[in-house]
Structure 1
Amino acid sequence: MLNRYFALLIALLTLLACSSCVPESGGAGAVPTQAADRPLSYAEVFDPSTDFDDRFGRGFANIAETEDAYYFALSGRLYIYFYDKHTGEYGVLCGRPDCTHDADPGKANTECGGYKGCWGGTTMNKKGDRLYYLGETDRTSSNIGCALYSMALDGSDHRKHFPLNCDDRFAPQRFEIHRGKAYGTNYYCSIEQAEPKSFYNVVCWDLGSGDLRVIYDRVMGGENIVSPWPCVSYFGKHVYILDSYPTSGAEAGSNSIVEIFRWDTEAETLEQVFSSGDNGLPGVDYTMWVEAENRLILAPMSRGGSDEHPIYALENGGLKKILSLTEKMSVRLVGGLCVGFDFRKDHEKQVSIWDLDGRSVWSGTWDLDIIAGADPDCYSISAIFGDRNDLYFVYEVRGNETVSAKTCVVKYDLRNAGPTAKVLCIVEDPSAQG
């Protein structure tokens, strides 16, 4: 009998030892799993091989990142620029040794490897080992005069994929590639039956066929003919669309009607997930960041005529205020952070950073000395990107009699006690003066 119990004990110990050899989940290449009571976060659903990197969304510029470099498409610039992480070198993305690149700001150097044309700075994406962008093509009765192109990461091997066959109402001002489709966010004005109208829409093009599909469309007239563009965020298989426009009546100019929709890229269906109602929410020009499956952060970028500047969390269908700003600031939402800034003329330049639970991360005077030679009151910000580790500010500097106009991209490392700045790219335009 004793030998029998001893044999059972040995078998049990062997079983326990074998079970301890099972590898833990969450290692390299592991597929994230979801506990029944824990919705997935943005980091868990993000697939860099197929998804748009939402750290670099919602701004009038484009940034793409690899292990070795950053790539930039800047509003109003004709070329794609790069920053080499190993050498610190930056410039036009072109490998031709005899090329003058962007040396002549008054002339388009179409032979340069980094040339992309004049379709704005919000239409470049990285997909795999190529950069995709919108460039010029012949305008026809069905084509708005642009096509989807791509180039290798060294600026070589330019390819034309398909023309954008649509009318001007769907000409994209933003263009982002996510899970096999290219999504455009658009604004267009025209006269319809002797009345001015504004068209706001979100559309997508199939990357294989070039076919166009309208996902969301809003037409405005009367007192609300001019209103903010829809804000788009990408979260796994879903594309979120936030639309905001001024209320009428007593709250006009102070409140915004806010509606949020979710497009399922697999089922190809659109559902509304939030509406503020006709009274709206305080502030104007709303933006958002999708933090998790059950948590979406939304905030007005400006308080407008409102006395309040709130930051909200939409959690499990309910809206709660996580922060209310007392200072007069502009606000942007990035990956895991809320960034407020006050760059008004004759004011000390202030930046405040909070996490998405409303706790202060950093606040203080913003050092602009790293971009030397410009009047600090000549700065404006065209984009803020990033996450809890790094922020990217895109500055537009107006020129004067002694200083050229320029666009500057600066990275701020947040890992230490205070933001540490590094210039990633400066593009000067001697022909433009304030």
Structure 2
Amino acid sequence: MKKLKRPGAFLAAVVPASFLLASINPSSLIFDAGPKASHPQLRYADLAAPEPAALPAHSIVLTVESGDTLDSLLTDGGLDRSESGGLVREVARTLDLRRLRPGNLIRFHYQPDGRVDSVELKVIGWGEIDAVRTDSGFLVVPQVAVQNEIDTIISARIETSLYDSLKAEGEGPQLAQQIADIFQWDVDFFALQRGDEFSLVVKKKFADSDPVGYGPILAARFTHEGQTFEAFRQETSDGRAGYYGRTGMPLRKQFLRAPLKFTRITSKFSKSRWHPILHCFKPHHGVDYGAPVGTPVMTTADGVVVEAGRKGGEGNYIRIRHTSRLDTYYLHLSHFAKGLRRGRKVLQGEVIGYVGRTGLATGPHLDYRVNDHGKWLNPLNLKSISPDPLPKTLLQQFRTNVIRLAARLALPASQVAEFTPKRRALF
């Protein structure tokens, strides 16, 4: 057997009665005595890395690292070049090898003479592959993971940021974007405070026991500065989904609070502000949002592009008309979104350009302005108008969902992953 120098390799000294990818604490198994109980549940937080004693004798486990290929892993495990090339070709018939990423696992089992007699590959989020040596080569048997979704309750208290609070609960950052999208009309995400809280009911996606992402948030509650906002998801007759309060009024407003996500305000609307380049006092008709060059800029409401070009101190700019009176302006852009042109209709939240520092700008930022028939308005004081509520034909269904989901929002956080009843644990 080839001597291994990889730090991620485990070598087993004994043969246990059974071996698992994860060490399982029997107390973590939860059985539902109800009629729907068909298999146990296991909290995925109880999963642990395999210990050497948990592996069969004559076995090693390698962890895929950055720069590894399946061929390099197989030769590290003891296959010669010919055997490795043949096995790579067989595996590629079933698995897109681009899915092989750092953190995946591969186990080798050896005969007493040191030859590899089986290879087992664990691809997180996809499944597992068995390769058993035969007289004519390796027989490859895929075990594709069962994909499922579980309604999960997640609750957190903000200490530093929305991202950090989710991370502390073991959740992914993509949830932060969903939360911001839902409450963007009511919560100022530039001014979150320590002690703000939120609870979610969200569809969490699993491939067997591996968490692989999220579906839509079904219900959410967010408390900011002592004020609590709620949102419940509802699909409409045209197939689109939106978020509504308990009464069926939409959270979506005519105007977004800001054209950027997760940035900071560097300069507010003012009738007399010291201009950092011209060195004199001048009115500042907008709000400056500091952000890195290339940050996407969204239109704050549905409208039509009236202007998109370059003008003196404004640099690259866009003007969008929303009503017969209201226009919004987006200044100092690095460039425009592909296909943006005069006369094009745009929808609220659509990316129209990217933050830059063109024109008179000391650093990358967006100058966002609102004009009402020739009068400049402070965007931070702009009061939004809500669209129409849910139609009566959907209200009964919506109210039933609110009762069910609101009760779940009040429950403690639960992060429980259901295992398939006959799941094979290879490692």
Q: Which gives a bigger RCO, structure 1 or 2 (Cα 8 Å, sep 6+)?
A: 2
> TM-score under structure 1 normalisation?
0.24
Q: Which has the higher strand share?
A: 1
The two structures have a TM-score, normalised by structure 2, of 0.24
